[in-house]
Structure 1
Amino acid sequence: MSAQRLQQLKGHILPEDKVTPMAGPVSPLSTHVLNVALGIPGSNMSLSLYHQDASSDIWSLVTTGITNADGRCPGLITRELFTSGVYKLRFETQQYWESVGETSFYPYVEIVFTIQDPGQKYHIPLLMSRFSYSTYRGS
């Protein structure tokens, strides 16, 4: 078994902050994209994180990123910037599916969620196929 494959398996077994390639500051918010149709990580997918202004309902871009080979995007936001409120993760699924030679019913996926306690760890995975997706709050 190749060292790269062992590292991928390690990434699925160990908590995100314990995997060597993702060392560095641990984000209080993480995501993991899985292509459940092909049974592989959703790598090289562009995503954006937004925060909603409570007084005006306007979305402000916090950061952008691209998922790594394991379908993760480490370092989304720092503890200092992570506050209570409504957030949105936008995944550019159409570009991803085109990159693997497929088409998709959904050109993008937006997951909107509320953070009440920014001291906790939040994990927002995206499980997707060309014609469906689901998510849940992990830890």
Structure 2
Amino acid sequence: MHALPRDRFAPDRLWAWGGDAYVPVGRAAAPDEWDELLYADPDAAAVTQVRRATSSLSCRAVVVDMLDSLLLEPGHRVLELSTGTGWNAALAAARAGAGDGDGDGRITSVEVDPRSPGPPAIGSRGTPPGFGSRPATGTWARPTTG
């Protein structure tokens, strides 16, 4: 986790609960408050979007437990649903390997929300070594019954 800190994957605007509503906190405008939203509490998610449904950068404690429970080893393949900021996918790729460089990575992560911060946020702060991403979004279809 130290090699892939959350701030490299967080969008420039996070949201903090202001008592009545969420309020935006900008990386440039309020860097200390922005950092605190990311790192102060290992059991708190960082809210990355606010609208009908919110989106967040999962809390560190859950991510660590989830990846530990997965027992991920080099060479394993993973399908992650809901890429979000790409942080979890990057952590998984660091463990399993990012692939052979021909676009056939070991970690496949799919995001349905085109407004999600997603892996493009990674590129603006430098892609971690050995982690390639090809951002893509899709739609889910409910199967029909005959």
Greater Rg, structure 1 or structure 2? Answer: 2
Normalised by the shorter chain, which TM-score bucket?
under 0.3
Select the structure with the greater relative contact order (CA < 8 A; seq sep ≥ 6): 1
Q: TM-score, length-normalised on structure 1? A: 0.25
Q: Which of the two has greater helix per residue? A: 2
